[in-house]
Structure 1
Amino acid sequence: MFQFLSWAVDYLAPLFLIASPITSYADQIVSIHRSKSSEGFSLDIPLIMLVASILKVFYWFGAYYDKMLLAQSSLMVAVQLALLKVSLDHKAPALVQHEPFADASIQHGLHALLQGKRPYNFWRWNSSKPYFRFLAYFTAGLLVIHLLLPFISGSPYYIAFLGYFGLAIEAILPVPQIYKNHIARSCKGFRLSVIINWLAGDTMKMSYFFLSSEYIPWPFRLCAIFQTGCDIYLGVQFYMYRNLPSSTKEIQMHSLGNSALG
């Protein structure tokens, strides 16, 4: 029995992890495309997963962790780009028109933070181009550091920063959706299949990270523990809100862009 579990952890779990971007988000992509609406789905999910996955890809060049996890991160980038595209194509129009970083002063950003708002309306832009432009600049910046600044990219402190920061970002993945569900008192727009796949993925990740014979850095393990707890609470929300009428705030879900997380 122990040999079978060891075999499953070393061979089946990695395959599941590699496929998890597709199994976790394909249904959400199809659902948004069919309904022609991304209402109730937090655009912060693609943001979190894209930034985290890009950081993990660059982290590999310093930590050389398991290649299965590198493959998963690379596939996640592609899947999240597709999810972002379809969500932007079918998102509700903004109530307030604004230009990206129209007032990019530090004072303006700090003032927004102190008021509990999103600085510069970040990731709440009207058109689709700024979203992909930000991701391109972010990736290009990391690439410049990796190729042209070896004294930084080769530093163990920089490598550790990429790992812990990237995985910490991924660990907070459920938080925006938890907040949005709490405000709306509803889980409408967020597919049950996604949370089921998240929980299944958490089970596989925890097993693989703690039982596998492969090299798994501690940032992966610590962040997996936190994310598992958040995903479990998301499941609790589905149970709590299953028979409750949704709040009127759910109708104007896109107005949550004025909050820090929504």
Structure 2
Amino acid sequence: MNFLVLIVQKVAPIFLVTSPLTSYADQIRNIHITKSSRGFSLDTPLIMLVASILRCFYWIGSRFETSLLLQSLIMILVQGVLLKVALDHRSTGDERVPFAGVVYPTKRPFNFWQWRPQRPYWEFLAYFFVITAILQLFFGSSEFFVGLLGYCALGVEAGLPIPQVLANQKARSCKGFRLSVLVSWLIGDIMKTVFFYSSDHVGMQFRLCAGIQFALDAYLGFQFWMFGNGELAKDFEMS
């Protein structure tokens, strides 16, 4: 058992740093090739971008494993590309008007993350980064603020599978969501759980996040078994 933990401790940092690429490269490629992001939840890049930005600022006050910081930085780049590709290939009713045909199942306040133009998405992320940086500047020396930042970052990340779970449930299909992403998530969950619980430089926030994510990802696996990649429900539209 100790030998297995030792292997994980050596391999996990490499896996964690490269996981943004191994997890989402196939999803980006699939959207680009099919010219459609239908069935893929735009909330996924939102969650990962917000969580990764928060985690970077959390590192300033907590100084956890450097590999986790590198993972967050790479994740920001990868999710930025994924968001751009998904927005470029979102279904439309009129090709001359971006997102003109998009129908949202539920409206959010201020149409948050359901905007038709692309610019508001990038503006929100820029404002979020600046506001977080200002808060870090004023309250970064507070242990309470640093701890809260960590719980927010990893709490948001722990909820990553939820939008996709809900989308799959509504569509009665997993079409549009790549099995390769799920497999990489599950492998990552196992690696992270062992690594986090065996490392002295990882806070409780990371351990709780890993446990919650594993449970949700396991349910995604159940959805793949239950629904497969069949056709989406006729009344289904993805935000």
TM over 0.5: yes
Is 1:192 paired with 2:179? yes
> Considering only CA atoms, is the larger Rg found in Structure 1 or Structure 2?
1
Aligned position for 1:158? 145
**Residues 217 and 126 of structure 1: CA distance in aligned 2, closer, same or farther (over 3 Å):** same
**Contact 2:174–2:230 under 8 Å retained in 1:** no
Aligned position for 1:36? 35
Q: 1:220 aligns with which of 206, 222, 232?
A: 206
Q: 2:125 aligns with which of 130, 135, 138?
A: 135
1:223 is displaced (CA, Å) by 1.3
Q: 2:135 aligns with which of 135, 140, 145?
A: 145
1:246 is displaced (CA, Å) by 3.5
1:169 is displaced (CA, Å) by 0.4
Aligned position for 1:113? none
Q: 2:215 aligns with which of 226, 229, 242?
A: 229
**Contact 1:183–1:249 under 8 Å retained in 2:** no
1:118-129 correspondence runs (5 A)? 118-129=108-119
Aligned position for 1:211? 198
RMSD: 1.6
Q: Which runs of 5+ in 2 are unaligned?
A: 93-98
| More displaced 10-residue stretch of structure 1: 87-96 or 228-237 | 87-96
Aligned position for 1:103? none
Q: In structure 2, what is the Cα distance between the partners aligned to 1:245 and 1:47?
A: 26
Q: In structure 2, what is the Cα distance between the partners aligned to 1:81 and 1:125?
A: 17
**Residues 183 and 31 of structure 1: CA distance in aligned 2, closer, same or farther (over 3 Å):** same
**Residues 84 and 244 of structure 1: CA distance in aligned 2, closer, same or farther (over 3 Å):** closer
1:144 is displaced (CA, Å) by 2.0
Structure 1 stretches of 4+ moved >4 Å: none
**Contact 2:174–2:229 under 8 Å retained in 1:** no
Aligned position for 2:26? 27
Q: 2:189 aligns with which of 198, 202, 220?
A: 202
Instruction: Provide the TM-score with structure 2 as the length reference.
Output: 0.91
Instruction: Provide the TM-score with structure 1 as the length reference.
Output: 0.84
Q: Which runs of 5+ in 1 are unaligned?
A: 98-115, 258-262
1:211 is displaced (CA, Å) by 1.8
Aligned position for 1:176? 163
What SS does the corresponding residue of 2:210 show, helix, strand or coil?
Answer: helix
